[in-house]
Structure 1
């Protein structure tokens, strides 16, 4: 089997790409307007990046708050580290 043949089978078609963009659009709260509302791929990808950044900031903020209160939650520092790692995944 040639490497050219294996590369050709892994290519994403325009239809595949459009389907993936539509799936992404349905996952974004600010763009979830139903399947009939058409939004450009560029906008979907930009909004996806922004949404991921906001989620990461929330994780960081929650992790920081968690690290500031380990005594009040009656957990060990080891447990706090496990929770922090889980939140960051």
Structure 2
């Protein structure tokens, strides 16, 4: 490997590392558990772990809300509901 190729690879790696660090730092204020630590140093691994946990909690919440909506529709006697229409309404 030539020194030019090695140097180019090193710059690309540094640039990529910087981008990853920047993206990880952008996650911190989006996480409720870490939002209050905005100016405190938090490790990238902690931020990524919390991000994964938060996404899992959000998925569970969506599943619970979907189940609850289905139960409400059933209890109201609404059986022939267009699922796509409901999804569209919930997005707005």
Please classify the TM superposition score into its range, dividing by the shorter chain length.
0.5 to 0.7
1:51 aligns to 2:54 (yes or no): yes
Q: Which one of 36, 42, 48 corresponds to residue 39 of structure 1?
A: 42
The structure with more radius of gyration = 2
**Partner of residue 20, structure 2:** 17
TM-score by length of 2: 0.66
Aligned residues: 77
TM-score by length of 1: 0.68
What runs of 5+ residues in structure 2 fail to find an aligned partner?
1-8
Contact 1:22–1:35 (CA<8 Å) still a contact in 2?
Answer: no
Report the Cα distance in structure 2 between the residues aligned to 1:64 and 1:75, rounded to whole angstroms.
14
Q: SS of the residue aligned with 2:26?
A: helix
For the aligned residues, what is the CA RMSD?
3.0
Residue-by-residue CA offset, 1:16-49 (whole Å, 9 max, x unaligned):
1111111001100100135421111111111001
Q: Which one of 59, 64, 68 corresponds to residue 65 of structure 1?
A: 68
- How far 1:14 moved relative to its partner? 2.0
Report the Cα distance in structure 1 between the residues aligned to 2:42 and 2:80, rounded to whole angstroms.
47
